[in-house]
Amino acid sequence: MAEFVKKLRGALGIGITWGAVWGAVFVGLGLIAGLVGGSDMDPAEAPFIMARAGAVFGFVSGLGFGALLAAAEGRKTIRNLSLSRAALWGVMGTALIPLLTPVADSMLFIVCPIGAGLAAASVAIARRAELNGAPEHRELPR
């Protein structure tokens, strides 16, 4: 049971991190659309509405990535994955939303490379933390 809770906590952490990154990406896209489109912008393209959509998309994609890691990689930690294998799981986790929802499948060409990059970045960050001697579990200040 403790192993399941540990994997669930990891997947939630990845989901929250990816949600924040995707939210920022969507805000940027909303700002660019506002500059280019001007007054022709649809209310659904407002930057903060897009940020919320991006955060939800990223959270679900991150959960998908974390679930795929937990199911397929078993006892390996994220630090021990190759960048290419992590990128593969990132593509698959990110592809879940366009494939399982009414979102246009053409979005795969946009979101999957970003998911692959986030997955590879997650591995690189985990390796960097290990190299810096970061302890695996830190105690919170009292």
Query: What are the boundaries of each domain within the chain?
Result: 2-131
Give the pLDDT confidence score for residue 140 in this predicted structure: 47
Q: Nearest to residue 72, comparing CAs of 137, 26, 7?
A: 7
Give the percent of the chain with pLDDT over 70: 86
Say which residues have a Cβ less than 8 Å from residue 63's Cβ, sequence separation at least 6.
11, 12, 14, 15, 93
Residue 102 clears pLDDT 80, i.e. is over it: yes
End-to-end CA gap in the chain: 28
Q: How confident is the model at residue 45 (pLDDT cuts 50, 70, 90)?
A: low
Q: How confident is the model at residue 43 (pLDDT cuts 50, 70, 90)?
A: low
- Count Cβ neighbours within 10 Å for each residue of 119-128 and write b for 16 or more, e otherwise: bbbbbeebee
Residue type, 76: K
Give the percent of the chain with pLDDT over 90: 21
